[in-house]
Chain A
Amino acid sequence: MERGREGIDPMRGYYDDRIVALSSRLVVPFIQLFALYVVFHGHYSPGGGFQGGAMLAASFLLIRLSVGSDGAQLQFRKGWGTPGSSIGTLIYLVTGLSTLLLGGYFLDYSQLPLGMGESETRSMGILIVEIGVAVAVACTLTAIYDDLVGEEGRRGSPHDA
């Protein structure tokens, strides 16, 4: 490829290396599966939203580093980062406010209308909140990387650092 030889910023361009690209593509689904396991198994083992979200972000960043930001758009688009992090925070906030509207305290999950016993509803409320945290963390970390790298497609200049 042309771009690999020009000696440009390795964060921005990429070297067309099939071994790196294929091996990271092989590893990423397992990382994502384990991240989902960490999020959803947080009720029974160490883990939870923050850790699982960070692992999900790590899988997105591995693809960005190995095949370049252009190819990684197929997996996680650049424009999804900031909206996704606000959606994750809103999941948490709306869960808390809905319990407030349904007659309980703020973030009192037992008021959620899920048709289960009180303690089971609390368990599900914890799960909803952890999913919100995971979405927020994964999207925020990916968005920070994208913001730092900047726009793709033009040559790096010393003024960009």
Chain B
Amino acid sequence: MKRFVLLVLIAFGALMFYGVSTLPDRADPRAPANLEESAAGSPVAQDYYIRHAYEDAHTPNMVTVILADYRAYDTLGETMVIFAAGLACFLILRRRRQEDLEEWEESEGLEESEESKEDGTRS
């Protein structure tokens, strides 16, 4: 079984290296992503960004312009996802903790002798 898993891993690794080796180089002007027009004849968005990012937003870092200006709506959604995650942690964990605390205090009388014995052996 272990040998089979290893063989599958090597096969998929070889497949990955084959796929990576046929990718176009960085900043290759003939790569499909860098062309002015796609194969179907429609304009490619990246070409517009490269040409106009600096004059539109006066910011040398093109990635920042795309992230916070051209795709600002998307970044707003990302921020809201993080906010929602924090809010969910707040709502779930705070209440759960309060309930656990009350439950624990109720049952503390029963378990106290056992717990103190444990502590005694540990220290």
A contact residues vs B (CB 8 Å cutoff):
5-7, 42-46, 48-50, 81-82, 85-86, 88-89, 92-93, 96, 106-107, 109, 117, 119-120, 122-123, 125-126, 129-130, 132-133, 136-137, 139-141, 143-144, 147-148, 150-151, 154, 157, 159-160
Contacts and interface: CB of A to CB of B under 8 A. Distances in A.
B83 A43 contact: no
Contact of B57 (A107, A123, A137): A123
A129 B68 contact: yes
Identify which of B56, B59, B68, B89 gathers the most chain A CB atoms within 10 Å of its CB.
B68
A136 B60 contact: no
A122 B93 contact: no
Nearest to B67: A48
Given A89-B83, A93-B76, A159-B100, A42 B64 contact: yes
Interface of B: 55-61, 63-65, 67-69, 72-73, 75-76, 78-80, 82-83, 85-87, 89-90, 93-94, 97, 100-101, 103-104, 115, 119, 122-123
Nearest to B92: A147
B73 to A, nearest CB: 6
Nearest to A136: B79
A62 B67 CA distance: 29
A36 to B, nearest CB: 16
**Most chain A Cβ neighbours within 10 Å, of B69, B78, B94:** B69
Contacts of B64: 42-43, 48, 126, 130
A43 B89 contact: no
B90 A82 contact: yes
A149 B60 CA distance: 42
A132 B79 CA distance: 9
Contacts of B78: 50
B58 A119 contact: yes
B73 A107 contact: yes
B103 A159 contact: yes
Given A6-B123, A126-B57, A141-B86, 7 more contacts: A7-B123, A81-B86, A82-B87, A85-B82, A93-B76, A144-B86, A147-B90
Contacts of A120: 58
Given A43-B61, A89-B79, A106-B73, A48 B68 contact: yes
